[in-house]
Amino acid sequence: MHHRDLIAHACAQVHPKQLKDGVIGDVGAALVTTTGHIYTGRCILTGSNTICAERVAIARMVSEGNEYTIAQIVAVWRDEHGRVYVIPPCGHCRQAMHDIDPQNIRITQVILSHDRVVPLATLLPYHDWW
């Protein structure tokens, strides 16, 4: 899948809902599995917990699709003017991608911008430290 198409799926998840102590849906994510299925998610940031959009998409992939290998993944944030920014996964999400299936370290391509894509291994260089 072209990364522009996956970015569009992630953008479709951006629907901010302001909470008293947080926000839901100001970041959207999309992933495509190695079998070609697409899963999306939006962030859930409450006063007590934060679940990134990427991990919501990963949870849907696992629980709805019984799949574990990610071919590509992307997250986006949109500002108040509608400009879209592709944002990198946090450390927790990078580790989750690795931990759900160690093959992902080599096969998952992380989209970092409209013209930059890197393997998960680049973002998690010491994944096999211990």
Binding site for Zn ion (CB under 5 A): 52, 90, 93
Give the residue with the Cβ less far from Zn ion, 36 or 100: 100
Q: Shortest gap between Cβ of 44 and Zn ion (angstroms)?
A: 11
Bridge-partner residues for 22, per DSSP?
A: 19
Give the residue with the Cβ less far from Zn ion, 74 or 93: 93
Tokens of 13: 């998840």
Give the residue with the Cβ less far from Zn ion, 82 or 126: 126
Give the residue with the Cβ less far from Zn ion, 42 or 82: 42
Contacts 24+ apart (CB under 8 A), 56-63: 56/29, 57/29, 57/30, 57/31, 58/31, 58/93, 58/96, 58/97, 58/100, 61/31, 61/33, 61/37, 62/100
Q: Shortest gap between Cβ of 67 and Zn ion (angstroms)?
A: 19
Q: Shortest gap between Cβ of 93 and Zn ion (angstroms)?
A: 3
Q: Shortest gap between Cβ of 98 and Zn ion (angstroms)?
A: 13
